[in-house]
């Protein structure tokens, strides 16, 4: 994402290591840095416009700014993957207990989740 195009009041997402860090609002922006404030609790993060890296942070695990659409899409994918994992786990447990009714119910739930 081009940090030069950000404007004050714009909503953005921050991600680090493919995990969402929440949604933020641009509170200050100039040619050198962008200041973001988290919507939930007001926590402030500062990013360099030139490098795109968060200030006062190591480059190895630095966070990056993304559009709110990318953040929403990432969260939706995470919820779907969590539901798929839960369905497979419940099927495996039903097979372990050798209960045919639970296996059929878990299989039906798995089919429903896999269509998402």
- pLDDT tens for 85-114 read 999 999 999 899 888 898 899 899 889 888
How many angstroms separate the Cα of 18 from the Cα of each of 71, 73, 110?
10, 12, 26
> What are the extents of the domains in the chain?
3-67, 72-114
Split at pLDDT 50, 70, 90, the class of 64 is confident
What is the residue-wise DSSP string for the chain? --GGG--TT-EEEEEETTEEEEEEEEEEE-SSEEEEEETTT--EEEEETTT-PBTTS-STT--EEEEHHHHHHHHHHHHHHHHHHHHHHHHHHHHHHT-HHHHHHHHHHHHHHHT-
Give helix 100-114 / helix 68-97 axis angle, nearest 10°. 160
pLDDT at position 54 is 87
- pLDDT tens for 19-61 read 889 899 999 999 999 999 999 999 999 999 988 888 877 667 7
């Amino acid at each position: 994402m081009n940090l030069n195009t950000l404007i004050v009041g714009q909503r953005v997402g921050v991600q680090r290591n493919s995990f969402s860090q929440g949604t933020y609002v641009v509170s200050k922006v100039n040619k050198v840095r962008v200041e973001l404030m988290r919507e939930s609790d007001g926590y402030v993060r500062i990013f360099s416009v030139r490098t795109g890296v968060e200030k006062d942070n190591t480059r190895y695990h630095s966070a990056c700014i993304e559009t709110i659409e990318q953040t929403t899409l990432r969260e939706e994918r995470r919820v779907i993957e969590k539901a798929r994992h839960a369905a497979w786990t419940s099927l495996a447990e039903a097979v372990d207990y050798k209960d045919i009714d639970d296996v059929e119910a878990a299989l039906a739930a798995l089919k429903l989740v896999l269509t998402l």
